[in-house]
C-alpha cells in the first residue's frame, strides 16, 4: 500500500496530511479499486478503518461472480470515469483537495490505458497473431501491458478471466469507437474464407489478392513435414529430379498447377510433359442418347421442343431438360434478370443450383450443400493435432460455395465449388485466389479424408 503514495508524488499533487483512511488504502494503479474508494467518499459511507474498506471491496468482488457481470461492471466503471465531474457539492477543503489529485490521476490513468491497448493491438497486428487469452497482451519481451499488469492483488480477480481475443478485452473494458480511442483489431482464421468479389477489390477499384502469409509455426510444420518424407517415396522424374524437392521452396502445400507459369518454369519441357501424362484420366465416354441430346440442345432451343423432352423418363435427359428449361424461363423474363447485377447467392440459386445440383439428384446418399458450407475434411486437417487437454476452440473448416457430400453414415465429401458474379478470365483476381489456392486445398483435404 505504501507505493501508492510515492506514485501520487510523481504524477499528481501531494495528498493532504489529513487524508481519509479509506483513501490511504488506494493503489492508484488499480483504478477500479480507486473508484470504489472514491465513491465511499462521495456517498459518505461510514467506515472506521482501512480494514472496513477492504471488506466492502471484497464483498463487491464476491457479487461480481460471473464473467457477464464483471464485463458489465468494467464498462460501467470506464463510463463513470470518463464522465467524472468535479465534486462541487463537497465543501470540505480536504475533500476538495482529495478530489483534485484523484481527478488528475484518473485522467492520466485513462490515457495510459488507451495508449497501452492501442500499442498492444498494433503489435499483435504486425505479428499476424490473435490472442486467445489475456497473455495475448504480452509484448515480445514478456512485458505485460499496463491494462492488466499494474494494480494490487485484488485486481487479479478481474484479470483472471480468460479472454478469447483482443476484441474481448477491449469490449470488456467498455471502450467504443466513439470514445476517441483508435483501436484496430486483426481478424482472421476461418474467417477470411467467406470470400466474395468485394473481398478482392479496394476502394480505388484496383484488384489485389488478400492472402495471409505463413506464420512461423506454419513454416516450421511445413519444414517438418518435408523432412519427414521418405525419400524413396517421392515422385522421381525420368530426369532424375524429384517433384517434392523441386516444389519445396516454391509452392504452398505441394500442389502442382501446370497452368501456372511460375510452376511451369520450375520444370523442363520434358518434365512438364511427363507430369501431364502421368496418371491422366481419359475423357468420359457418353452414351449415344446423351450425345444426341447435347448436340440438339447446342442449337437454338425452342420451349416447345424442351417441353416435349421433359416428358421422357430417362434421368440424364430429364436433368438436362430441367436445366435448359430453367435457363429458358430466365431468358424470357422481362426485364431480363441475366442482364442485372446480382449477388453470388442469386447465381447459386438460379443458375448453378438447377444446372449442377439437380444432376446429383438421382445419386442415392449424395447431396450438394450451398451457402458457404464448412468443409468437414478441412476441419479434420486443421484439428488433427488437437488434444483433450487443449483449451483452444475447435477450428472450423474452409467455406465453399458448394460442397458435395454424403447424407448418411460417416460424413464424407467428394467435391467443392467456388462461384463468382463475374468472369474476368484466368488472370482475374478472384480466379487466381480461389482456384489457385483455396479450392485445391479443400479438394486435397477431401481426397486425403477419403
The residue segments making up the domain with residue 79 are 3-179
Q: Is position 134 within any domain? A: yes
pLDDT at 189: 39
For the chain, 450 residues long, give each residue's pLDDT as a single digit of tens.
333 333 333 334 444 444 444 444 444 444 455 556 666 665 566 665 555 666 666 666 555 444 444 445 455 554 454 444 443 444 454 455 555 655 565 556 556 655 665 666 555 555 544 334 334 333 333 433 333 334 333 333 333 333 344 444 334 434 333 333 333 333 333 444 444 444 444 333 444 444 556 677 777 777 888 888 888 888 888 888 888 888 877 766 777 777 777 888 888 888 888 888 876 666 777 888 888 887 776 666 555 565 665 555 566 777 777 788 888 888 888 888 888 888 877 887 788 877 777 777 767 777 777 776 777 777 777 777 777 666 677 777 777 777 777 777 677 888 787 777 777 777 777 777 777 777 788 888 888 877
**Last residue of one domain, picked from the residues 179, 208, 238:** 179
- Side-chain half-sphere CA neighbours of 427 within 13 A: 1
Of the residues 179, 207, 238, the one at which a domain ends: 179
Dump the DSSP string for 147-205: HHHSS-GGGHHHHTSPPSSHHHHHHHTT--GGGT--------STTTTS--GGGGB-TTS
Q: Which pLDDT belongs to residue 46? A: 62
CB 195 within 8 A of CB 430: yes
Determine the Cα–Cα distance for residues 15 and 24; give it in Å rounded to an integer.
9
Q: Which residues pair with 402 in a beta bridge?
A: 370, 417
- Sequential DSSP letters for 143-154: PBPHHHHSS-GG
Residue 345 maps to a domain: yes
Within a domain: residue 196?
no
Whether residue 224 sits in one domain with residue 142:
no
Please, are residues 415 and 446 in contact by the beta-carbon 8 Å criterion?
A: yes
Question: Is the same domain home to 270 and 303?
Answer: no
In a domain, 35, yes or no: yes
Q: Which of 189, 157, 113 is CA-nearest to residue 379?
A: 189
End-to-end CA distance of the chain: 64
Cβ pair 53, 47 in contact under 8 A: yes
* pLDDT reported for residue 122: 59
- Tell whether 283 is covered by a domain: no
d(CA 250, CA 77): 53
* Residue 305 resides in a domain: yes
Do 302 and 418 have their domain in common?
yes
26 lies in the same domain as 143: yes
Q: Based on the domain organization, do 346 and 265 belong to the same domain? A: no
263 and 125 together in one domain: no
Res 186: pLDDT: 37
- Give the predicted TM-score (pTM) of the model: 0.37
133, 156, 179 — which closes off a domain? 179
Only one residue has cell 483489431, namely 185
Indicate if 240 and 328 belong to the same structural domain. Answer: no
Q: Indicate if 264 and 295 belong to the same structural domain.
A: no
Same domain, 55 and 172: yes
- Look at residue 316 and tell me if it is in a domain: yes
Q: Which pairs from 261-269 meet CB under 8 Å and 24+ separation?
A: 268/239
Give 82's contacts (C-beta < 8 A, 6+ positions apart). Answer: 110, 179
Domain-embedded: residue 185: no
Based on the domain organization, do 363 and 294 belong to the same domain?
yes
How many domains is the chain partitioned into structurally? 3
User: Are 293 and 266 contained in the same domain?
Assistant: no
Q: What is the pLDDT of residue 25?
A: 43
Per DSSP, helices labelled H in 44-92 are 50-63, 67-82
CA atoms in the 13 A half-sphere facing the CB of 208: 8
Residues 293 and 269 in one domain: no
137: nearest Cα among 126, 148, 128: 148
Cβ–Cβ under 8 Å, residues 370 and 348: yes
Amino acid at each position: 500500500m505504501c507505493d501508492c503514495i510515492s506514485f501520487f508524488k510523481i504524477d499528481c499533487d501531494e495528498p493532504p496530511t489529513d487524508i481519509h483512511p479509506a483513501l490511504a488504502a488506494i493503489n492508484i494503479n488499480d483504478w477500479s479499486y480507486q473508484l470504489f474508494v472514491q465513491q465511499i467518499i462521495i456517498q459518505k459511507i461510514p467506515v472506521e478503518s482501512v480494514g472496513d474498506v477492504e471488506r466492502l471491496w471484497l464483498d463487491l468482488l464476491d457479487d461480481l461472480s460471473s464473467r457477464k457481470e464483471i464485463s458489465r461492471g468494467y464498462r460501467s466503471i470506464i463510463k463513470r470515469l470518463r464522465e467524472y465531474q468535479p465534486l462541487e457539492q463537497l465543501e470540505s477543503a480536504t475533500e476538495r483537495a482529495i478530489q483534485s489529485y484523484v481527478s488528475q490521476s484518473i485522467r492520466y490513468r485513462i490515457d495510459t490505458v488507451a495508449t497501452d491497448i492501442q500499442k498492444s493491438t498494433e503489435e499483435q497486428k504486425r505479428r499476424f497473431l490473435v490472442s486467445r487469452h489475456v497473455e495475448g497482451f504480452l509484448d515480445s519481451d514478456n512485458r505485460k501491458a499496463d491494462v492488466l499488469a499494474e494494480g494490487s492483488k485484488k485486481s487479479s480477480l478481474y484479470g483472471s478471466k480468460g479472454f478469447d481475443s483482443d476484441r474481448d478485452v477491449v469490449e470488456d473494458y467498455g471502450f467504443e469507437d466513439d470514445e476517441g480511442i483508435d483501436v484496430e483489431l486483426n481478424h482472421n482464421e476461418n474467417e477470411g474464407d467467406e470470400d466474395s468479389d468485394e473481398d478482392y477489390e479496394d476502394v480505388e477499384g484496383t484488384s489485389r489478392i488478400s492472402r495471409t502469409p505463413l506464420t512461423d509455426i506454419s513454416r516450421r510444420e511445413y519444414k517438418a513435414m518435408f523432412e519427414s518424407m521418405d525419400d524413396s517415396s517421392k515422385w522421381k522424374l525420368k530426369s532424375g529430379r524429384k517433384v517434392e524437392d523441386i516444389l519445396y521452396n516454391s509452392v504452398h502445400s505441394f500442389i502442382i498447377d501446370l497452368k501456372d507459369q511460375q510452376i511451369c518454369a520450375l520444370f523442363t519441357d520434358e518434365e512438364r510433359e511427363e507430369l501431364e501424362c502421368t496418371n491422366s484420366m481419359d475423357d468420359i465416354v457418353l452414351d449415344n442418347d446423351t450425345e444426341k441430346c447435347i448436340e440438339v440442345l447446342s442449337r437454338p432451343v425452342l420451349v416447345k421442343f424442351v417441353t416435349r423432352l421433359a416428358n421422357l423418363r430417362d434421368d440424364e435427359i430429364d436433368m438436362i431438360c430441367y436445366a435448359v428449361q430453367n435457363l429458358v424461363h430466365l431468358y424470357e423474363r422481362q426485364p431480363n434478370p441475366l442482364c442485372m447485377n446480382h449477388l453470388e447467392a442469386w447465381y447459386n440459386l438460379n443458375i448453378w443450383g438447377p444446372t449442377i445440383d439437380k444432376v446429383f439428384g438421382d445419386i442415392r446418399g449424395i447431396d450438394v450443400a450451398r451457402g458457404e458450407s464448412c468443409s468437414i475434411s478441412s476441419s479434420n486437417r486443421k484439428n488433427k493435432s488437437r488434444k483433450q487437454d487443449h483449451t483452444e476452440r475447435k477450428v472450423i473448416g474452409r467455406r465453399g460455395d458448394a460442397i458435395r457430400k454424403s447424407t448418411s453414415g460417416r460424413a464424407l465429401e467428394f467435391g467443392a465449388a467456388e462461384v463468382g458474379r463475374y468472369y474476368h478470365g484466368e488472370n482475374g483476381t478472384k480466379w487466381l485466389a480461389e482456384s489457385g489456392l483455396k479450392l485445391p486445398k479443400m479438394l486435397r483435404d477431401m481426397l486425403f479424408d477419403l
